[in-house]
Structure 1
Amino acid sequence: MRFIVFIFMFCGYLFSTSIKDVANIVGVRDNELIGYGLVVGLNGSGDGSSSEFTIQSIANMLGSMNIKISPDDIKSKNTAAVMISAKLPAFAKAGDKIDVNVASLGDAKSLKGGTLLLSALKGVDGNIYALAQGALSIDSSGKGASMTNAKITNGASIEREVGFDFSNQNMITLSLKQNDFALASKIKNSINKAFDLDIARATDGKTIIIERPEEESAVDFIAKVLSLDAGEVNANSKIIINEKTGTIISGIDVEVSPVLISHGNITIKIEPKRPYELKDNEVDLKDGSVIDTSANILRIANDKITLANITRALNKLGASPADVITIIKNLKQAGAINAELEIL
């Protein structure tokens, strides 16, 4: 039985917030790590003999342990080659633990029950920043869940730190999460007023440069700045899509502009509200939406069309979760949805 869950939240509205909720500090960010490794202990669901790189990796691993064997003599379906990814947090120190994601690289059918062998995680500069190892955890709760993607919570230990001397920064740059000239001006004025100094200036709708007073330490100063009131901010709606499980989380008031979209055998026509008479095979959903059941056409004519209207109507048309997700992504790409879209 197909099903899709919609949880409507993240509504757009005006609210008073602090600077830390709407801006980031330039230079303080996560860094992406990547690595290659072997997962062992699979119950016959690993890579087949066609994945030559897996066979060669097994031979290389055994060779490093003084076990000499030809790759031609290795026939193991209990091993899979994987790619490993992780995020190195800002200011992370040697010995800290981070989560890692593991994905099959070959033709393994499942990574369930496997254990990742010690693997190096590198940054874009080629240096090793962490070492990963541990038992894999797979989310198999949903019907569409992938068995070739896994996670290891706290599965990597940081071995190398990213050098960033924050304490000696005299100029601190804030980057707003959205381009907003009015908000940038508000924040600049709020900082200057709080310190009674002309130390902040907005260079564009996203960037605010702040000069740190000599008597303030960098940590104390930025803590004070981030806690300042940014005033009333228009919180943009957000749509979160988990393609693995078919789950969509959206603001209930996310509006959709007039647009015509066709996907497979489904056609959606969103237009300004106008009176019209029902035709044969059309069903009135009593919310400004009309479904033509004979041709899988969804017409929506209302003063305010929301994503909730569309998803409800698509469910009545029998659209699959994959169809609904694809249509939402296309609506966003067409510029019909003014909301942030996050794909998990």
Structure 2
Amino acid sequence: MILCLFSVNVQAEKIGDIASIVGVRDNQLIGYGLVIGLNGTGDKNSSKFTMQSIANMLESVNVKISPDDIKSKNVAAVMITASLPSFARQGDKIDIQISSIGDAKSIQGGTLIMTPLTAVDGNIYAIAQGAVVLGNSQNALSATVVNGATIEREVTYDLYDKTGMSLSLKKSSFQNAVKIQNAINKVFGSDIALAIDPRTIKIVRPKNLSMIEFLALVQEVNVDYSNSDKIIIDEKSGTIVAGVGIIVHPVMVSSGDITIKITKDPLDDDNAQKIDANTTFDAKQNTLSSNGKFATISSVVKALQRMGASAKSMISILEAMKRSGAISAEIEVI
């Protein structure tokens, strides 16, 4: 079990790192295609949709054949996904993800033939084609192809002529929305920014700046950003990441063969050992004392480690403490 601590109170952050510009975003693309040139590792004849796709492809070049007559195992049906960046232009290259949807054994060494990639509106925004190279990937049925698609249609963003925009916080917070509002108004003057909810801040372009110049400057403004307390537990590796000052109120928890008591009362037992500057732990009584102050998640985890608690037991104990109200911070198990 590994414990990592970080400060989660207030820290300076650039607005560009904690908020995005509403309307300026990536768009998801998807397409269905065929990977050809496989060395017998493609879809079997039982994949009817693959055989039909081959027949349709051949018909497009004036070769008519029934899907039932196709016996090739050198072709695999795949789905292609990609992300169309904001402000991407015609001719730009983007990466694509190729994944087999049939019963192929491998798509290594194949070639993706020309495949249109569409967005949710049904329009074609990019064309994918190229060699499939898996690299060091252990999954022979999925591959990322760098610069595997060419953009054919642009998504238009008219920023230059706009007089106002909106910022969207990546995490809702009344406090941080007001801080961003005040920070922008301090730099550019009053009435430039207005927080309208815990996630959205409306901004108005100053007359002496273009919208592009204004947004570039706004993104560089520093804000005293407040993070909420959170405990993150990686169940597989046993890693716990938590804020240094997360408080644990007095409580007693039992999980399996592990029982721990957390108290403010000082320990008189000579067997009590110091966990840190403010807390002591009695291994015989399974008691952690914060000596009149509040225990922290750091001292609790260290005490559980000394008790030999497994990652599973520790997760159960921390979650039980959360449900009891002894821990107010959010717990996320990944």
Query: What TM-score bracket applies, with the shorter chain setting the length?
Result: 0.7 to 0.9
- Say whether residues 1:26 and 2:15 are aligned partners: no
Deviation at 1:186, TM superposition (A): 1.0
1:132 corresponds to which of 119, 128, 139:
128
Q: Deviations over 1:90-127 (max 9, x none)?
A: 11111111111111111112222222111000000000
Residues 318-329 of structure 1 mapped to structure 2, 5 A cutoff: none
| Structure 2 match to 1:166 | 159
Q: 1:211 aligns with which of 192, 204, 212?
A: 204
Residue pairs, 1:235-274, within 5 angstroms: 251=241, 253=243, 273=262
Instruction: Give me the whole-angstrom Cα distance separating, in 2, the residues matched to 1:105 and 1:46.
Output: 11
Q: Is the 8 A contact 2:20 2:167 kept in 1?
A: yes
| Residues 210 and 51 of structure 1: CA distance in aligned 2, closer, same or farther (over 3 Å) | same
CA contact (8 A) 1:46 1:111 kept: yes
The offset of 1:50, in angstroms, is 1.4
- Name the SS for the 1:131 alignment partner: strand
Which residue of 2 is the match for residue 155 of structure 1? 148
Equivalences for 1:89-108 in 2 at 5 Å? 89-108=85-104
- CA distance in 1 between partners of 2:182 and 2:216 (Å): 17
Alignment of 1:2-17 (within 5 A): 12=8, 14-17=10-13
Q: Tell me if structure 1 keeps the 8 A contact 2:188–2:206.
A: no
Query: In the aligned structure 1, how far is the partner of 2:62 from the partner of 2:231?
Result: 54
**Cα drift, residue 10 of structure 1:** 7.4
Structure 1: runs of 5 or more not aligned = 275-285, 291-298, 320-326
Provide the rounded CA distance (Å) in 1 between the counterparts of 2:129 and 2:233. Answer: 30
- Structure 2: gaps spanning 5 or more residues: 264-274, 290-294
Superposed CA RMSD:
4.3
CA distance in 2, matches of 1:105, 1:198: 54
Q: What amino acid does structure 2 have at the position aligned with 1:60? A: N
Q: Does 1:229 align with 2:222?
A: yes
Q: TM-score scaled to structure 2, two decimals?
A: 0.73
Maintained 8 Å contact 2:15/2:219: yes
The correspondence for 1:191, drawn from 177, 184, 187, is: 184
Corresponding residue of 1:122: 118
Q: Counterpart of 1:167 in 2: which secondary structure?
A: coil
Could you say which residue in structure 1 is the equivalent of 2:73?
A: 77
Q: Do the aligned partners of residues 116 and 11 (structure 1) sit closer, same or farther apart at CA in structure 2, a change above 3 Å counting?
A: farther
- What is the aligned-residue identity percentage? 45
The answer to whether the Cα contact below 8 Å between 1:38 and 1:80 also exists between their aligned partners in 2 is yes
CA–CA distance in structure 1, aligned partners of residues 73 and 287 of structure 2: 53
One-letter amino acid matched to 1:181: F
- Aligned AA for 1:57? S
The aligned amino acid for 1:55 is M
Shift of 1:269: 7.7
Counting matched residue pairs gives 298
